[in-house]
Amino acid sequence: MKQMDCYWYISESLRPWEAAVVGTLARALLREGADVRAFSGGGTESLGIPGILSWHSLNATERALIVGTKGKLWHLWGAPPSWWKFIRFRSRTIHTRFDSSTAWKGHPTVLSATVCSSGETYIPPAFEVKMSWSAEEGKETFEEAQSPLFLLAGGKEDESFVFAESAAALSSLLRALDDAPDEEIKLLASGNCILVLPRPAPSLALLAAFAALMGVPSVAARSALMDEALGKDGYVHLTSENPEHVRTAFRSALGEGGRSASAYARRSVTDSFPPEKGAKKLKNLYLSLGGGEK
């Protein structure tokens, strides 16, 4: 097989856990022998992709040369930049989006089999156990130190008081992860918190998978997305947002229910989503679209 090559543009719109998935897939793809040439619209360090360049570090001539002449196959991750239309004019394109409000700007690919529709390609996400999200900071374990902090993601603002009151009733606190995702990721890395997902979405399911690898249990509404990401027994089920049901779920997450769900989820994520699985699917997709020859 001839060497396969593909240009990547990784949008600054990606949240930390989404960027981590992309970086893990890229490293696995490079190990498979692909020639991935990546550009980032945001930071590069958190992605951990060998040879990646910041798009903003390039001068105008370099950017124009790349947009106008480089690559027969491009893969866009996240929201498209303003110049993406010029890439689409002369190259074959693939698009992986993390927000359903973003219009498709290339062959559509998704990171969840549950939401994959006709005409879309499912790419298994990739996760790594060793994370670099400031895990040294606050190494308190789930069983130690003060009562774990509840991190709310994806909930409606006017409903957060129900979760805050339930956390307070158990001598804990609740914070909204959406307010400062970079800071809250550091809290996840400490292991001394519990993720709360009243309305699971594809991106939040990825977050829950990363949380599981860091020993953090999730409390979430039962959904096919969460079953796919963590396994049916990999999270504490939130049956409703009734205050009594929320307190019951939180109490379970603070005890044996949270520990057993977290352990189950960690095994499920590790077994179901090895990085080479997603890399091989990407490699085959690139070959089928002209990124190389069999």
What confidence tens digit (pLDDT) does each residue in 151-161 have?
999 877 677 88
* Confidence bin at 5 (pLDDT 50/70/90): confident
Q: List the domains of the chain with CATH numbers.
A: 5-126+274-288 (3.40.50.2000), 149-272 (3.40.50.2000)
Q: Judge residue 37's burial from the number of C-beta atoms within 10 Å of its C-beta, 0-12 exposed, 13-18 middle, 19 or more buried.
A: middle
- Output the furthest CA–CA distance in the chain (Å, rounded): 62
In this predicted model, which residue has the larger pLDDT, 146 or 67? 67
CA separation, residue 163 to residues 107, 149, 166, 247 (Å): 40, 12, 5, 8
Per-residue pLDDT reduced to its tens digit, 223-250: 999 999 999 999 999 999 999 999 999 9
Portion of the chain with pLDDT greater than 70, in percent: 89
In this predicted model, which residue has the larger pLDDT, 13 or 180? 13
> In the prediction, which pLDDT does 186 show?
78
Portion of the chain with pLDDT greater than 90, in percent: 74
CA separation, residue 1 to residues 144, 177, 219, 291, 293 (Å): 53, 45, 46, 11, 6
> In the prediction, which pLDDT does 179 show?
63
Per-residue pLDDT reduced to its tens digit, 170-215: 999 998 887 666 777 777 887 889 999 999 999 999 999 999 999 9
> In the prediction, which pLDDT does 1 show?
38
